[in-house]
Amino acid sequence: MAATAMEHDGGGGAEVVTPGELLGASSSLAAGRGAYADGHSVRASVTGRRRILPPTPGSSDQRSTVEVVGHKAHGAVPQPGSVVIARVTKVMARMASADIMCVDSKAVKEKFTGMIRQQDVRATEIDKVDMYQSYRPGDIVRALVLSLGDARAYYLSTAKNELGVVSAQSIAGGTLVPTSWTEMQCELTGQIEQRKVAKVE
Amino acid sequence: MESKKPLRSAFVDDYVVPGDVVLDLADMTNQTIKLGAGLRQDCDTIQVTSAGRLRLSKPNKYWVENSQKRYIPSVEDTVLGIVVDTKPDNFLVDIKGPSVAFLPVLSFEGGTRRNIPKFEIGTLIYARVVKANSIMNPELSCMDAIGKAAEFGQLKNGYTFETSTGLARMLLSSPTCPLLEALGKKLSFEIAVGLNGRVWVNAPSPSNVILVSEAIKQSESFNRIQQRSMVEKLLAKLA
């Protein structure tokens, strides 16, 4: 019975574990990510694949570490200070909402919402910012995570030269090409549109 | 003044429908044309997006003049709105547009946090559109550009009705349209017209209010002569 169950496992080698499943004894294994120590045993706390890491050299604890990987909680999660790529979903008078797609060049596995407030759009003259001339729905922006924000969204900032709109579409449907840090030009019609543009090296 | 005469569209003052190409930019070089409402640039051609009459304002501004029941907010329009909700920072005002408009509670002459006006749901407001674009809710103000109240604010009593945007523009045209001029000679009333297709009429006697409102509603497609003759007939019946 056990042999056939292993064959169906997909040949990666690592086996799938579920929360609560026994991974080993705490005398021989230390609990890593996705695992916890429960008395004399180490059990999994999330669903994923079991992985053993060698013990860190030079530490007093010579046990291998077991961890459970592959779960979406271990995908990229925005942290304060990380640079994210987000798509703007809604633009309002004092803020813009965006869906975070990548964190530090790693794609996220679940949906995170970010919010760019009027005072975080740029570094100069922050009270005269016009959100309509900075972002439009559908723009791809590079932003910095300021903080975990409130229950609904992370707080993002684009107040640096290298942050801002990276890619956008014009009203006519063509791609916008940056011409300065405030303007982008449509390649089909030549119309200029205003955005807060990121300086891409 | 200019070495090249600007290419003029052959359709100026004609009726156009969506899809008509009114100007071909391939023949023009180094000239700027300004596009107003109802026109769109599609690579090298200018196309119409809403049905109406093509107008040209010298030297180079084109737009399509049309009349609809819907109102598309545009900046610097004076509109009549009805309050639908109050929030801590804004009043939510319906101006017959695609989305509800925001009227900041401080956008009144001498407005501070201490003397915020108390508008109930259903209050009629005469206001000016300050910000309007396709993605955000429009923003209104009850002050003019220098900060004075200038007739903006709540309109009390009277009777409100809805018209098309074309009729509202006709009522606001200057010199005064013959309809209002003829009515004003015989009847006493006051009137406020919103470019969003809402009109408010107030008069000391209810019969005046009804007369003026019905006369306006009937004159949807009348030209100047028809307006004058309709009013004359109406007033003759009263005498």
Q: Per-residue pLDDT averaged across A148-156, rounded?
A: 93
At A114 the pLDDT is 96
- C-alpha distance from residue A24 to each of A31, A41, A47, A64 (Å): 9, 6, 16, 11
Report CA-CA distances (Å) from A46 to A16, A20, A22, B80, B157.
Answer: 10, 8, 12, 59, 67
Q: Residue B186 phi/psi, 5° resolution?
A: -105, -30
What type of residue is A39? G
Residue A2 has what pLDDT?
44
Q: If you measure CA to CA, which chain B residue comes closest to A131? A: B136
Q: Tell me which residues of chain B have a C-beta less than 8 Å from any C-beta of chain A.
A: 40-43, 102, 131, 133, 135-137, 139
Amino acid, res. B56: L
Please provide the size of chain B in residues: 239
pLDDT at residue A74 in the model? 65
B6 band by pLDDT with thresholds 50, 70 and 90: low
Q: Which of B42, B131, B133 sits opposite A172 (nearest CB)?
A: B42
A96 interfaces chain B, CB cutoff of 8 Å: no
Q: Answer yes or no: do B41 and A189 touch at CB < 8 A.
A: yes
Mean pLDDT of chain B: 88
In terms of Cβ atoms closer than 10 Å to its own Cβ (0-12, 13-18, 19+), residue A180 is exposed
Give the pLDDT confidence score for residue B191 in this predicted structure: 95
Q: What DSSP string describes B58-94?
A: TTTEEEEE---SS----TT-EEEEEEEEE-SSEEEEE
pLDDT band at A60 (very low <50, low <70, confident <90, very high): confident
Among partner residues A132, A188, A191, which is closest to B133 by beta-carbon distance?
A: A132
Give the lowest-confidence range in A78-92, A115-129, A140-154, B167-181.
B167-181
Residue B103 near residue B89, CB atoms below 8 Å: no
The answer to whether A145 and A116 are in contact (CB under 8 A) is: no
Give yes or no for residue B82 having a pLDDT over 90.
Answer: yes
Please say whether the beta carbons of B129 and B102 come within 8 A: no
Report how far residue A21's alpha carbon sits from residue B203's, in angstroms, rounded to the nearest whole number: 83
Contacts (Cβ under 8 Å, ≥6 apart) of A127 = A119
- pLDDT tens readout for residues B20-41: 888 887 777 777 888 888 888 8
Provide the whole-model pTM: 0.76
Nearest C-alpha neighbor of A182 from the set A120, A133, A119, A127: A133
Distance from B192 to chain A by nearest Cα, in Å? 29
What confidence category does residue B223 fall into, taking pLDDT thresholds of 50, 70 and 90? confident
Average pLDDT over residues B194-216: 93
ipTM entry: 0.75
Q: Residue A12 has what pLDDT?
A: 44
Higher pLDDT, B1 or B80: B80
Q: What is the mean pLDDT of residues A173-184?
A: 93
**CB atoms A131 and B136 under 8 Å:** yes
Q: Residue B101 — pLDDT band, cuts 50, 70, 90?
A: very high
d(CA A112, CA A115): 10
Q: Is A92 on the interface with B (CB under 8 A)?
A: yes
